[in-house]
Structure 1
Amino acid sequence: MFLDESRILSRLDHPNLIRVIEAGVGRLTLDAGSKGGLEDTTSGLVQGANANDEYRYIAMELLLGRTLADLWDLLAEEKKRMPLRVAASIVARVAHGLSHAHDLLGEDGQSYELVHRDVNPSNVFMTSRGQVKLIDFGLARAKDTDRAGTQGVVTGKVTYLAPEQLSTRASDRRTDIYQLGITLWEMVTGARLFLRDTQLESIAAVKRGEIPQPEELNPKVPADLSRIVMRALAHDPDRRYTTMGGLARALDRWVEAQGLVVEDEEIVELFDRVFPEERVRLETWYHGVLSARPTVSPDRTIAPPAAVGGVGELEAAAPIAVQQAVASLPPNAVPQDLEIPNDAETAHARRSRWSWWKRR
């Protein structure tokens, strides 16, 4: 099953998807010069295995950068929001990559009906050179590779689940559309949509599907962008975009209507402002690895440089007028610099620090 799924993923070829270079099965052999370790000529040392054991492996491209979740965590600490144009462009790129995955055909010309099922900011990678890539297809399923016994099993991060993932209804490409819609909603509002105090409360919130209009939290969100977000987040899958390509094109049109297309260089600028010196440190580490001697001790690894924090001057989170529709939002779900109700208890809860942003 692993090989079948890995070989399907290796057929994906899109600039906004992480590339699978190779997948297969290897056999470990004893290497007398490796201090009793086991070594394969292509995969290096593997500890805790027996001679002649088989192992499965998957090799993917190396990406240097940070996840979208990393970016948001720093923005949240500084009470900043990403510019709407950039947010829409990043999500559009992910949508184009997913559209390619959804439309992937087998050698027989039939669709694999591939679904990612775990689209969330932790699986959106922004490279230090301005590329945006969807990663971690570990929960992806094609139509002919569903494992027995997974019916009814909840997979993925709870706060990014689609309603049908909590029911007996099968997931399809519209599940990915909903999950990406959650990501877009959170990017343009600066709030978490379904995060509650406990996992059970978060699951209940997903099932209810009560979603405020983005402009209720961020008045800078225009009506046409809000309509795109809310259509992606329709509780009924039949009311969402029919295809991921439809969502991607809608976002492309909105970005183009703003008068300036977002290029990779603008994302690099954002990356450098949020993670100063990180790009130089990562590339220095990378070139150091390339120039290092190929023989490395079994108990040593070359670690990338420590992350550097800090946020530059970005769009400040604008105050919102808390309306009736927003009153149902959970405590802690509104950034601390936003206007809040006069109710003392609610006000105190919403002034709590940004630890709510950590992804669950």
Structure 2
Amino acid sequence: MTASSRRIGDRYVLGPDLASGGMATVHLGKQLGAEGFHRIVALKKLHGRFSADADIVDSFLAEAKVAASIRHPNVVAIQDVVREGDELFLVMDYVPGLSLARLMAGAETVRKVPPAIASAVLLNVLEGLEAAHGAAADDGTPLRLVHRDISPQNILVGADGAGRLIDFGVARSAARLKNTREGLVKGKLLYLPPEVVEGEAHGIAGDVFSAGAVLWEALVGKPVFAAETDGAITARILVGDVSPPSRSEPSVSEALDAVVLKALEHSARKRWKSAAEFAAALRVAAPPAPAAAVRAWLAQECGPTLEERSGQVRAFEVAALPDVASPARASLGAAEELETRPKPRRHAAAYGTTALVALLVAGGAALLSSRLRGESDLREAHAPDANALATARVDAMAPAAPLEASVLPAASAPPSPSAGGASTADAALGHEAGVVGAIARPAALPRPAPSASAQKSLDCRVPYRLDSEGNRIYRRECLQ
């Protein structure tokens, strides 16, 4: 395990960082479960300066809980929230891949994305966005979720060729904070719709505008409202002077120009009415590349970066865990030990079936009556080691049914020779008789132990003797 790795709560291990933004740092993480189960996750750690602010944390947590209600393959949703002291973490599925921002910045050839590839990625994002806009609470009440921070940094292009939207829940917190924390959303101004810049609410139309700005940038290779200063960027957004992408990139068709420009209309009423409507028009204007083509483009542009990331994940996945017992595993206790012990051999089970028939024919109902009174004594005489093992292990467990205590431990222990000189085979038969007794009745009720005088006068721990041919001759006094 790397030096930076440590336990977070009972179920997670914090690994190396993958990326850092204005509000949080994303780390590799490992989710732990019972029986050695684990899986790789992404842990987003809120920066310390925000973790200490109660108002920020409360807003962050409230919206993270709402965002967790989104379930769509193109949305990387929040799976859990963990607090460790003053630290706050969001747990998300780990998706191998890179952000669209990283892809365009790290491309080995040019920063532009081919129209078919851009269409495929944005269609996935719009489908996830539509699912969020239409999400409802358990009682059917619309949640009216709006992302508010659609940007290349928040679009993940997976190694499987699918585009995904990330950071639901975090976005609204960032939007609320932008008016009180100077510089918090620096860099996201490029994708804000004009109505939000002017102080109005950010609604569905605002998300459509931001998605259009991302598509324009992917096609052209630079932000649509790029300028030297924030003031200049703001002025360009408010003026709304947007040129068609084809003016900078001839491979963009006129039909695709029209789709992008409609998404970037200055007036919210003139834009696509929904993410679904935007997606339908985009699919016609620029048929999307298949996932295999997106994967190939991803490998071509950022292959070395992806390989480095994969190696980092593999190293973290196989690293040893810290030497601290997880409560999830510690709670298994003796139950886990019993379940992982070697199973009885097949021929022993078959031999036990033969013994069962012999016992029923020879002893009949009288034997079962004797077993009900002296089962524990008989088991003690034939398999003392197995009985001791059962007692130690069952005591360590939560209270178990008598059937489990009688059968499970003894079944995996080899039979011991009896005190009366019986053969190993006879001991095995006696052991199987104990199993029969346990199965043939409901769980035994507690009963008082026989007195010392009774044991001395009548010892039926072995209720038979063997004749010269090895046949069992049952004692009359033990069959009463």
Shared fold by TM > 0.5?
A: yes
CA distance in structure 1 between the partners assigned to 2:286 and 2:109 by the alignment: 26
Match of 2:303, SS state, is coil
**Structure 2 residue 78 is matched with structure 1 residue 58:** no
Q: Is the 8 A contact 2:124 2:162 kept in 1?
A: no
Change (3 A) 1:139 1:203: farther
CA distance in structure 2 between the partners assigned to 1:148 and 1:185 by the alignment: 27
**Structure 2 residue 62 is matched with structure 1 residue 4:** yes
Residue in structure 1 matched with residue 77 of structure 2 by the alignment: 19
Change (3 A) 1:296 1:132: farther
Change (3 A) 1:280 1:220: closer
1:37-87, Cα deviation, whole Å (9 max, x unpaired): xxxxxxxxxxxxxxxx57543211123221111111134x74453211111
1:169-208, Cα deviation, whole Å (9 max, x unpaired): 2110110110110111112222321111111111111111
Residue in structure 1 matched with residue 304 of structure 2 by the alignment: 277
Alignment of 1:59-98 (within 5 A): 59-75=91-107, 78-79=109-110, 81-98=112-129
CA distance in structure 1 between the partners assigned to 2:171 and 2:142 by the alignment: 14
Match of 1:275, SS state, is helix
CA distance in structure 2 between the partners assigned to 1:220 and 1:268 by the alignment: 21
Structure 1 residue corresponding to 2:322, chosen from 280, 295, 310: 295
Change (3 A) 1:97 1:85: same
Deviation at 1:265, TM superposition (A): 1.6
CA distance in structure 2 between the partners assigned to 1:152 and 1:289 by the alignment: 36
Q: TM-score, normalised by structure 1?
A: 0.66
Residue in structure 1 matched with residue 208 of structure 2 by the alignment: 177
CA distance in structure 1 between the partners assigned to 2:238 and 2:321 by the alignment: 52
Structure 1 residue corresponding to 2:147, chosen from 89, 104, 116: 116
CA distance in structure 1 between the partners assigned to 2:166 and 2:176 by the alignment: 21
Q: TM-score, normalised by structure 2?
A: 0.51
Stretches of structure 2 lacking an aligned partner (at least 5 in a row): 1-58, 325-480
Stretches of structure 1 lacking an aligned partner (at least 5 in a row): 29-52, 298-360
CA distance in structure 2 between the partners assigned to 1:141 and 1:277 by the alignment: 34
Which of the pair is proportionally richer in helix? Answer: 2
Equivalent position amino acid for 2:281 in 1: A
Alignment of 1:27-38 (within 5 A): none
Match of 1:116, SS state, is coil
Equivalent position amino acid for 1:269 in 2: A
Match of 1:201, SS state, is helix
Q: Is the 8 A contact 2:225 2:236 kept in 1?
A: yes
Instruction: State the superposition RMSD in angstroms.
Output: 2.8
Alignment of 1:335-354 (within 5 A): none
Larger-gyration structure (1/2): 2
Equivalent position amino acid for 1:10 in 2: A
CA distance in structure 2 between the partners assigned to 1:88 and 1:149 by the alignment: 31
Equivalent position amino acid for 1:270 in 2: W
Equivalent position amino acid for 1:101 in 2: A
CA distance in structure 1 between the partners assigned to 2:139 and 2:87 by the alignment: 29
Deviation at 1:253, TM superposition (A): 2.7
In the alignment of these two chains, the number of paired residues is 264
Structure 1 residue corresponding to 2:233, chosen from 168, 182, 202: 202
Equivalent position amino acid for 2:74 in 1: N
